[in-house]
Amino acid sequence: MGQKKEIRLRSRFTQDIADSVMRYVASLPFDRRLYKHDIQGSIAHAEMLAEQKIISPRELTQIKKGLQLIQLEIEQGKFQFKPELEDIHMSIESRLYEIIGAAAGKLHTARSRNDQVALDIRLFARETAQDTINVLIKLCSALVNHAGRNIQAVMPGYTHLQQAQPVLYSHYVLAYFEMFRRDIDRLEDYLKRINVLPLGSGALAGVPYPIDREFVARKLGFSSVSANSVDAVADRDFIIEYEAIAAIAMMHLSRFAEEVIIWSSKEFGFIELSDAYTTSSSIMPQKKNPDVAELARGKSARVLGTLAGMLAVMKGLPLAYNRDMQEDKQGFFDTAYTVISSIDVMTGLVASLQVKPARMKASMDSYILATDIADYLARKGLPFREAHDIVGRLVAYAMSQKKELNELDIKGYKRFSPLFKEDVYKINADSSVRARSSYGGTSPDQVKLQIQKAREILRKYEA
């Protein structure tokens, strides 16, 4: 074959691009990870071109074989990436020329790099969203199992990091199930929204060929085709929305990480991390550090920064494609990797977490029951506000006497209200959690109910 080995896009220029400029504008170092999506999209495009008689069956066969060979070369590490071919799309197209000659030139019929790139990232986004859902389901599952295994542990619940009211440890853990479940829901909405084929939009105006976009959409599993060609190449919502969902999910993870860090401090001592999930110190031989949780917490900030950056990239850009938009990829890839690996490693941490119910119990003093005592008075008819006021004074009195509440004798109580009877001594951490049996409350029955519901939800997700 009299092969044409080179793609020339600069025939109108009299001067070549400067080397420093080529390095600056090249996306090949990072967009090469889209090779599979690019080839997948090209094959679907070629099949459509053949279907529509724009290329011949023979050309189709050549193109498909060539692309499959290229995929193999890349996956076997034999593909030679050339820096002067600035992106993965040109790299593949150029190699296809070498392999099949002129027919390669027909693949670009009715297609522009703008809609090609838009397609490739969208395929990546769809895959990433599904992967993220999958690791979130595993994390949810680990949390529910962990909650189920530790249903007996009662811990001080906190607001402002001050002991507030006793809660089941499982109840706290399930709060995180709720958060990550919302993240899954967001991703599912997102997946529906982005499952739209951009290819067939050309550079920005559509294409002057009798293409069949529905055909390509079916081949690639898209549920619809984009309705406006300018928007199709200028849109990066599908990256930013993922980054926003990811930032929220990482924020949730960072909160859980903060609990893990605080709870595994010597002073709290509520949990013990597995050795496999902790690291040592270069200088302090006794150290056992919760680095995994710290990194997950830190990485939530990185994801937040990428989101802010990407919104700022797009801000104020006129239509349609502008090269600024190339900044989308590194942040997106980084966020995808960060989120998925962080969730994955934290799932392992949860699975290996040891809970120390005795330390939790020992940590609670009697003051944590003050609300229960106020509720006790309210049930005897006092407006809650008055009950609150009385118990506040009772607590102040006990503290001034350096006594726990259950160390006060009944006269001590009655000094503050005649409604106090001996049964006030029955109030304890266990009675406190049992009493909170409103829907979604911390009573064991409610928590067990929610564990059961969570398992049903997970079964649905996994189906």
Cα torsion 99, 104, 105, 109 to 10°: value is -170
Residues 127-156 binding a copy of itself (CB under 8 A) are 156
Q: Quick one: 137 or 447, whose CB is closer to a copy of itself?
A: 447
C-alpha closest to that of 239 among 303, 194, 299: 194
- Between CA 54 and CA 210 the distance in angstroms is 8
Q: Quick one: 110 or 336, whose CB is closer to a copy of itself?
A: 110
41 binds a copy of itself (CB under 8 A): no
177 binds a copy of itself (CB under 8 A): yes
C-alpha closest to that of 197 among 37, 322, 13, 18: 37
Q: Quick one: 32 or 52, whose CB is closer to a copy of itself?
A: 52
* Contact string 366-395 vs a copy of itself (x = CB under 8 A): -xx-xxxxxx--x---xxxxx-xxxxxxxx
Residues 185-204 binding a copy of itself (CB under 8 A) are 185-186, 189, 193, 200-204
Q: Are strands 154-159 and 224-225 parallel, antiparallel or unpaired?
A: unpaired
102 binds a copy of itself (CB under 8 A): yes
278 binds a copy of itself (CB under 8 A): yes
Count of CB atoms situated within 10 Å of the CB of 159? 8
Residues 301-330 binding a copy of itself (CB under 8 A) are 301-327, 330
211 binds a copy of itself (CB under 8 A): yes
- From the candidates 223, 274, 280, 281, give the one annotated as an active-site residue: 281
Count of CB atoms situated within 10 Å of the CB of 185? 12
31 binds a copy of itself (CB under 8 A): no
Q: How far is CA 276 from the centre of its chain?
A: 24
From candidates 61, 145, 289, 428, binder to a copy of itself by CB under 8 A: 289
164 binds a copy of itself (CB under 8 A): yes
2 binds a copy of itself (CB under 8 A): no
In the residue annotation, 37 being an active-site residue is answered as no
Stretch of 40-48, 125-133, 206-214, 407-415 lying at the interface with a copy of itself (CB under 8 A) = 206-214
In the residue annotation, 281 being an active-site residue is answered as yes
- Between CA 126 and CA 195 the distance in angstroms is 7
213 within 8 A of 201, measured Cβ to Cβ? no
C-alpha distance from residue 396 to each of 319, 386, 391 (Å)? 66, 16, 8
Output the CA angle 123-124-127, nearest 5 degrees.
90
From candidates 160, 402, 411, 460, binder to a copy of itself by CB under 8 A: 160
Which positions are annotated as active-site residues? 160, 281
